[in-house]
Amino acid sequence: MDHTAIYKRWLLKNTDARLKTELEAIAGNEEEIRLRFGRRLEFGTAGLRGIMGAGTSRMNLYTVGQATQAMAKLIASNGSGAMARGVCIACDSRNNSEEFARHAACVLAANGVKAYLFDALRPTPELSFAVRYKGAIAGINITASHNPKEYNGYKAYWEDGAQMSLENSKKVSDIMETTDVFDDVKTMDFDAAVREGKIVLMGRETDEAFMKCVLNEAVDISFVKKAGLKIVYTPFHGAGYKIVPEVLGRIGVTDIVPVTAQFTPDGDFPTVKSPNPENPESFSMAADIAKSVSADIVIGTDPDSDRIGVLSLRGGEYRHLNGNQVGVLLLDYVIKGLKRSGRMPAHPAAIKTIVSSELFRRIAEKNGVKLFEVLTGFKFIGEKMLEFEKTGEYEYIFGYEESYGYLKGTYCRDKDAVVSSMLVCEAASYYKTRGMTLWDALDEIYGEYGCSLEGIINVTNPAFATPAQMGEVMARIRENTPESIGGYKVAAVRDYKAGVRTDTATGEKTKIMLPKSDVLYYELSDGSRFIMRPSGTEPKIKIYFLTDGESTKECEGKIERFRQYAKSLVK
């Protein structure tokens, strides 16, 4: 069936009044109809994510229902016991999130799969925690993380609390291919499902259990009481607005100045261009408040409260630390704190993604902590944690990805801005008692382990509209290996899609012991790394620069050269 025929069928079968209005508005607009109905929203390693609206390539009640019907079939294939264990469901503050979450619960209930639904928005890490806390077989989280307001998404989790494996994601995707969005999706009345016990609401009890686990991950809160830390906090209109301040209060951070205008959950995110803690400009309102109250630090959590951004004073200004800088600060603080208290496990392990700072590796290895590297995405960190749990060979102490996601502890299997906020406040308090800011601490770390800086650019292009098109661009680059990048010779190429590392001088090839992924990783003669990968959720190619040098100035110079090269490479 071509896109025009699918569009006409949606006009006929759709019962959602808002979507009906959209469908009628695009009548005769061939290009818009093709964009909305020319492809299906793909269920990938991160589930679903897309712009909300009418169409098979959009996030709406029908695509959510189709994905949930496929989830229900996968769960049913695991037997009646799996169906009885149920699925935990959460959502963030985005427009339509609550409606999508309730619909998912109703689809599961109609298929005989028990649903545990949070009574209001909750942080993503609490959903990951709840899956294991309730003994559920799976989890569903309605969120698009830090994407612009037009987006929503559907993250799927499995029984270990981590996002669904590649194998199970493919099974869901395959089932969706044969599941008609109108005729094959079962559903039932929400209130009836609650009365019959097919949908069970979760609330404060789960919050308390989650916060207890977070608080157990504190390293040393004695510094918090000594320092008298003053922080400015913003949840960017999202799910962190209750639990983050409550956890901080329980460790003794009582001087919390809220960015009041950003505390009300609001899917339009009216006070920011983008609710993304990765972007320094998102903190303009918070930084102004910090100046007015002389705060020590600023903390911001994204709409689903799994990522955290931090500002600290440097030269009289509140400067934004990037994701790698926060990661190395926290790892160093955690390791040294565990050693001071005699609580370092016998076989500690830390995990980072392949695009994250090599400084993280140096800190771990110098302190006797085994460093593991995984593909981009916290699900792969979660899988490694499960491996440690099964084998008992290592004990996980900390993991991170450069895109502002961190986790200490094994109570959940996804990045957690709640525990990260607590640890940042602990570290800031510790350094404050020494008369230092977080930036001072970072300089101290550079002095101890060597200087590293990282950069990233996102290259967008209309030609990257689909994963296939981005794959074509990557294939072209893959076929033309450069001799040098930014003036530095390419010493080796890791092609994660082929699963091979090639030494450019000798031609020697070694196997990469990670799952295959469309990533090109260039090791340069000066020790720097230049990495390219297509985004899994947006039409862009991400290019990372990992540099080492004698000073931050030297590293900054390298990053600028790599940035210029990257711009010329992808057109």
Residues 555-566: what's their mean pLDDT? Answer: 94
pLDDT at 469: 78
* Tens of pLDDT, residues 8-33: 999 999 999 999 999 999 999 999 99
**pLDDT of 569 higher than 80:** no
Residues 290-300: what's their mean pLDDT? Answer: 98
Number of domains in the chain: 3
Residues 44-62: what's their mean pLDDT? Answer: 93
Residue with tokens 């149920």: 86
45 within some domain: yes
Question: How far is residue 3's CA from residue 8's CA, in Å, rounded to a whole number?
Answer: 9
Residues 265 and 226 in one domain: yes
Residues 384-403: what's their mean pLDDT? Answer: 96
Residues 68-92: what's their mean pLDDT? Answer: 98
Percentage, residues of the chain above pLDDT 70: 98
pLDDT at 464: 66
**pLDDT of 466 higher than 90:** no
Residues 313 and 355 in one domain: yes
Closest C-alpha among 330, 549, 383, 380 to residue 455: 549
From residue 518, alpha-carbon distances to 115, 308, 372, 411, 473 in Å are 35, 27, 20, 31, 11
Q: Are strands 540-549 and 199-202 parallel, antiparallel or unpaired?
A: unpaired
Helix/strand number for the chain, H first, E second: 20, 23
21 within some domain: no
Catalytic residue numbers, as ranges:
145
Q: How far apart are the first and last CA of the chain?
A: 34
Residues 250 and 110 in one domain: no
Answer yes or no: are the C-beta atoms of 432 and 312 closer than 8 Å: no
* Tens of pLDDT, residues 181-233: 999 999 999 999 999 999 999 999 999 999 999 999 999 999 999 999 999 99
Residues 440 and 367 in one domain: yes
pLDDT-derived band at 497 (thresholds 50, 70, 90) equals very high
**pLDDT of 571 higher than 70:** no
Question: How far is residue 471's CA from residue 31's CA, in Å, rounded to a whole number?
Answer: 23
pLDDT-derived band at 463 (thresholds 50, 70, 90) equals low
Residues 303 and 347 in one domain: yes
Answer yes or no: are the C-beta atoms of 386 and 162 closer than 8 Å: yes
The CATH number of the domain holding residue 560 is: 3.30.310.50
pLDDT at 570: 67
- With a CB cutoff of 8 Å and minimum separation 6, the contacts of 5 are none
7 within some domain: no
Residues 236-264: what's their mean pLDDT? Answer: 97
Length of the chain: 571
33 within some domain: no
34 within some domain: no
* Tens of pLDDT, residues 533-544: 987 666 788 999
Residues 435 and 323 in one domain: yes
Residues 371-386: what's their mean pLDDT? Answer: 95
Mean pLDDT of the chain: 95
Residues 365 and 261 in one domain: yes
**pLDDT of 459 higher than 90:** no
169 within some domain: yes
Last residue of a domain, one of 202, 227, 255: 202
- The per-residue DSSP string of 166-209 comes to HHHHHHHHHHHHT--TTTS-----HHHHHHTTSEEEE-HHHHHH
Percentage, residues of the chain above pLDDT 90: 91
The CATH number of the domain holding residue 185 is: 3.40.120.10
HSE at residue 484, side-chain half, CA atoms within 13 A, is 7
pLDDT-derived band at 88 (thresholds 50, 70, 90) equals very high
Backbone torsions φ then ψ of 106, nearest 5 degrees:
-65, -35
pLDDT at 135: 98
**pLDDT of 179 higher than 70:** yes
8 within some domain: no
| Helix (H) or strand (E) segment spanning residue 466 | none
Residues 195 and 305 in one domain: no
Residues 289-311: what's their mean pLDDT? Answer: 98
**pLDDT of 358 higher than 80:** yes
What predicted TM-score, i.e. pTM, was given to this entire model?
A: 0.95
pLDDT-derived band at 465 (thresholds 50, 70, 90) equals low
Residues 328 and 422 in one domain: yes
Q: Dihedral through CA 17, CA 23, CA 24, CA 28, nearest 10? A: 180
- Identity of the residue numbered 231: I
Question: How far is residue 565's CA from residue 563's CA, in Å, rounded to a whole number?
Answer: 5
Residues 61 and 194 in one domain: yes
Q: Which domain holds residue 215?
A: 204-449
Answer yes or no: are the C-beta atoms of 217 and 420 closer than 8 Å: no
Residues 163 and 256 in one domain: no
526 within some domain: yes
DSSP secondary structure letter of residue 244: H
Last residue of a domain, one of 202, 224, 240: 202
**pLDDT of 149 higher than 70:** yes
**pLDDT of 131 higher than 80:** yes
Last residue of a domain, one of 202, 222, 246: 202
Residues 321 and 297 in one domain: yes
